[in-house]
Chain A
């Protein structure tokens, strides 16, 4: 076992050279690469952390918006429901009102129709009664009913009460309208003259007369001038008869109910 001092020196030099070479080609580049990678990873981690913070922030923001949206949605929904309920109520009220109006109109129309029908029936009945009366009177007493009606009217004018007379005169003097004399059938000239002279005796001389006929009238004579009306007709008697009949009927019904 010997030590070769040349080899020792040579090995020392070899070792130092190896140290230098390894430093240059191994440790330095490897440690540098590791450092760079560590820095890169650190920066990536930092970036990831920043992104995470940003993402969290955005998530929070989104959540807040979502909550606000939900809240708005609920409010809008509640408002829409309330509006719809109000609208429904309004529509229902309007429909009820309309239905009530229609019902009212229908009632009115029905009542009107019934009244018209009733009037027509009454008129026809009155006409029939008058015709029968007229026929009976003419056959049994040889009396002209029309002429008798004029006679009675003239008599009524002549015997008019003072208050009625005053009203008649006032109505006549306030306006220069003609005196309208309405009858159911056309009167003769003689009857015209008789009526004119009767009226003239109340009002004084007056030349404006207008004689008309109305098929709806059942006997009698109507006098009208400027709101004043003097009437005498067969229908008044019949209407009175109808009223009496209705009252008798109602009484009979009440008795039956008791």
Chain B
């Protein structure tokens, strides 16, 4: 039994390997991009819109609102990253309803890659918002003694992100595989439904945590700007 779709290799040359993870990722990407292009090429700004546009608008506006609720005041700046995280994980996990499908999120490589992306995005947005040195200063706050702890916190939370998503998705897949061998009827279907729910929740958790980390990074700058505005409204 393969624990990870990484182990299903289709093509291999030197260190380059085309495995199931990459293939399913490309399939999911293709589905998402083609779907987006097909729906958004006929966007209407009138009161009457198509049901697909309505669904997409609901999803996008929902993500936007969530980002705003986390504390990021300009959600359009972060929706590209956080929204794509959520949609990619959600679509990947949603397809588990298909037979023989193994989600790319069940691969530690994918979750690590996503966690690294978040790990890099946090300083990227932090520096973009507050500037390089101002951002670095946040690591020695409240005192420089906190520097190692802050670095450990950054690394551990990234690791936690990767392991949490991988563990949840992989365990779901494993449970279904084991149950299929024990009792092939009914129980796997229930577990698939449960896996679907878990997958959606994980997508939400992953993206919302990413949003929270980014918000924490840019918060200092937002606080500073608010303080400046309060002292000098002009």
Real complex partners, A and B?
yes
Report A's interface with B, CB cutoff 8 A.
1-12, 14-23, 25-27, 29-31, 33-34, 36-37, 40-41
Distance in Å from the Cβ of A60 to the closest Cβ of chain B?
Answer: 31
Complex CA gap A29/B45 in Å reads: 11
Asked if A6 contacts B40 (CB within 8 A), the reply is: no
Question: Please, could you name 15 A-B residue pairs with CB atoms under 8 Å apart, sorted by A?
Answer: A1-B108, A2-B108, A6-B15, A6-B16, A7-B107, A8-B112, A8-B113, A14-B22, A15-B88, A18-B29, A19-B84, A23-B84, A29-B43, A30-B57, A33-B45
B residues 79-117 touching A (CB-CB < 8 Å):
79-81, 83-85, 87-88, 104, 107-110, 112-114, 116-117
Asked if B6 contacts A31 (CB within 8 A), the reply is: no
Complex CA gap A14/B83 in Å reads: 15
Distance in Å from the Cβ of A47 to the closest Cβ of chain B?
Answer: 14
- B64, CB-defined interface residue at 8 Å: yes
- B128, CB-defined interface residue at 8 Å: no
Distance in Å from the Cβ of A149 to the closest Cβ of chain B?
Answer: 132
**CB-based closest 4 A-B pairs:** A11-B113, A7-B109, A23-B80, A26-B36
Asked if A22 contacts B84 (CB within 8 A), the reply is: yes
* A18 contacts across to B, CB distance below 8 A: 29, 32-33, 84, 88
Our pick among A11, A15, A27, A41 for the contact of B21 (Cβ within 8 Å) is A11
- Judged by DSSP, the binding face of B is helix
Our pick among B45, B57, B64, B108 for the contact of A40 (Cβ within 8 Å) is B45
Asked if B56 contacts A16 (CB within 8 A), the reply is: no
Distance in Å from the Cβ of B121 to the closest Cβ of chain A?
Answer: 10
- B61, CB-defined interface residue at 8 Å: yes
* B57 contacts across to A, CB distance below 8 A: 30, 33-34
* B83 contacts across to A, CB distance below 8 A: 22, 26-27
Given A9-B113, A11-B22, also A22-B32 (CB < 8 A): yes
Q: Contact residue range for chain B?
A: 35 or more
Asked if B64 contacts A22 (CB within 8 A), the reply is: no
User: Closest A-chain residue to B107, C-beta based?
Assistant: A7
- Judged by DSSP, the binding face of A is helix
Report B's interface with A, CB cutoff 8 A.
3-4, 6, 15-17, 19, 21-22, 25-26, 29, 32-33, 36-37, 40, 43-47, 53, 56-57, 60-61, 64, 76, 79-81, 83-85, 87-88, 104, 107-110, 112-114, 116-117
User: Closest B-chain residue to A39, C-beta based?
Assistant: B45
Distance in Å from the Cβ of B51 to the closest Cβ of chain A?
Answer: 14
Complex CA gap A31/B40 in Å reads: 11
Asked if A12 contacts B80 (CB within 8 A), the reply is: no
User: Closest A-chain residue to B116, C-beta based?
Assistant: A12
* A14 contacts across to B, CB distance below 8 A: 22, 25-26, 29, 113
Asked if B22 contacts A36 (CB within 8 A), the reply is: no
Distance in Å from the Cβ of A236 to the closest Cβ of chain B?
Answer: 124
Asked if B109 contacts A4 (CB within 8 A), the reply is: yes
Asked if B29 contacts A26 (CB within 8 A), the reply is: no
User: Closest A-chain residue to B114, C-beta based?
Assistant: A15
Asked if A22 contacts B113 (CB within 8 A), the reply is: no
Asked if A1 contacts B110 (CB within 8 A), the reply is: no
The residue in A21, A26, A37 that gathers the most chain B C-beta atoms within 10 A of its C-beta is: A26
Complex CA gap A21/B32 in Å reads: 9
